């Protein structure tokens, strides 16, 4: 899938992995709509991106993925501005075991909300152009991160939802592919101040420190490169890609 002339929507685009995905898609020719709650970071980023790629290639819309109303307004504005949506990256996420209901609402329900609203515009059966959805899960979507049971649950949910949607889309003729990335630790703000985010499991902080020093950390650009692969490779549907500091690997699941 060539990206020239395509329109992408990226959630959690103001910083970190979402920023890198945005830059990668722009660099490869797409137009990108950035959704985020951090208005100041997003506005500064879009100013810089507009200088680099042109004013008509990016748009920031303030949007909380916890709100279906805000997501609907953002996707409608995207279609009004760019004529359709071809790529959705559900990337926004938080790590906070104290505020665990909010974690579920953003990390899992935000992905489901974003997908269902986008389907109304992307689904070929309802007049859309089809396309591809890439969700950001985590290695914690495949195995346990013991300091973060709720974060782990949300990311397992994202992996399961993505794979089931891939099957549903293929069986129904939506013309939309669904894939999920599962990165190991990535060097972003996410890794800062871990003790305050572990809630009742902060006594296990040493375990995570040891995991990080053993596994190393990824650069956001490595993660964005994997997203690009899943967007452009039209053979990929229902795939989960593990990304480590030493390489990447497609997950083999038991067949059902
Ligand atoms: N950094 C890491 O080690 C890893 C991160 N991930 C996942 O990658 C995704 C991005 O994480 P990072 O870039 O590292 O984090 P980050 O904290 O650097 O960036 C997250 C972005 O999401 C935005 N955001 C948060 N809540 C939002 C909401 N309700 N609505 C819209 N935007 C919202 C933030 O404002 C921020 O711009 C998350 O889903 C995270 O779970 C996955 C594996 C490892
Ligand atoms: C509050 C705890 C902070 C420490 C962890 C911070 C963020 C981690 C986010 C992730 O999504 C990463 C999740 C899991 C990594 C799991 C295993 C990594 C080991 C794999 C390897 O060998 O690379």
Q: Rounded CA gap, 254 and 256, in Å?
A: 7
Who's near 241: CB < 8 A, 6+ residues apart?
Answer: 179, 180, 181, 182, 226, 229, 230, 248, 249, 250, 251
Residue 123 has a pLDDT of 98
Residue 139 has a pLDDT of 98
Residue-averaged pLDDT of the chain: 97
Residue 1 pLDDT class (50, 70, 90 cuts): confident
List pocket residues of ligand 1, CB cut-off 6 Å. 11-12, 14-18, 36-38, 64-66, 91-94, 106, 136, 138, 183, 185-186, 188-191
Would you say residue 214 has pLDDT above 90?
Answer: yes
CA 33-34-36 angle, to 5 degrees, is 145
**Which residue among 53, 116, 151, 174 is the active-site one?**
151
Catalytic residue at 116?
no
Residue 232 has a pLDDT of 98
- pLDDT tens-digit map of 18-75: 999 999 999 999 999 999 999 999 999 999 999 999 999 999 999 999 999 999 999 9
Cβ atoms within 10 Å, residue 58: 22
For residue 119, which phi and psi values (nearest 5 degrees)? -55, -35
Residue 195 has a pLDDT of 87
Cβ atoms within 10 Å, residue 8: 29
Looking at this predicted complex, what is its ipTM? 0.97
pTM: 0.98
- Please name which ligand lies nearest the alpha carbon of 154: 1
């Amino acid at each position: 899938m060539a990206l020239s002339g395509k329109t992408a929507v990226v959630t959690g685009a103001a910083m970190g992995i979402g920023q890198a995905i945005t830059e990668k898609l722009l660099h490869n020719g797409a137009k990108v709509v950035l959704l985020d709650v951090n208005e100041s970071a997003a506005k500064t980023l879009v100013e810089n991106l507009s200088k680099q790629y042109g004013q008509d290639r990016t748009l920031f819309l303030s949007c909380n993925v916890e709100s279906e109303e805000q997501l609907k307004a953002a996707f409608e504005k995207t279609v009004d501005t760019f004529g359709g949506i071809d790529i959705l990256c559900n990337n926004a996420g938080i790590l906070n075991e104290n505020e665990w209901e909010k974690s579920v609402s953003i990390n899992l329900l935000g992905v489901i909300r974003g997908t269902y609203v986008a389907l109304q515009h992307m689904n070929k059966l309802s007049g859309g152009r089809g396309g591809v959805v890439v969700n950001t899960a985590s290695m914690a979507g495949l195995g346990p991160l013991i300091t973060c049971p709720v974060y782990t649950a949300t990311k397992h949910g994202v992996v399961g939802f993505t794979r089931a949607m891939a099957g549903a889309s293929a069986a129904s003729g939506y013309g939309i592919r669904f894939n999920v990335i599962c990165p190991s630790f990535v060097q972003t703000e996410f890794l800062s101040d871990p003790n305050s985010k572990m809630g009742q499991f902060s006594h296990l902080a040493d375990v995570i420190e040891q995991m990080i020093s053993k596994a190393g950390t990824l650069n956001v650009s490595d993660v964005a490169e994997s997203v690009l692969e899943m967007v452009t490779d039209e053979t990929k549907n229902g795939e989960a890609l593990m990304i480590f500091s030493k390489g990447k690997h497609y997950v083999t699941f038991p067949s059902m």
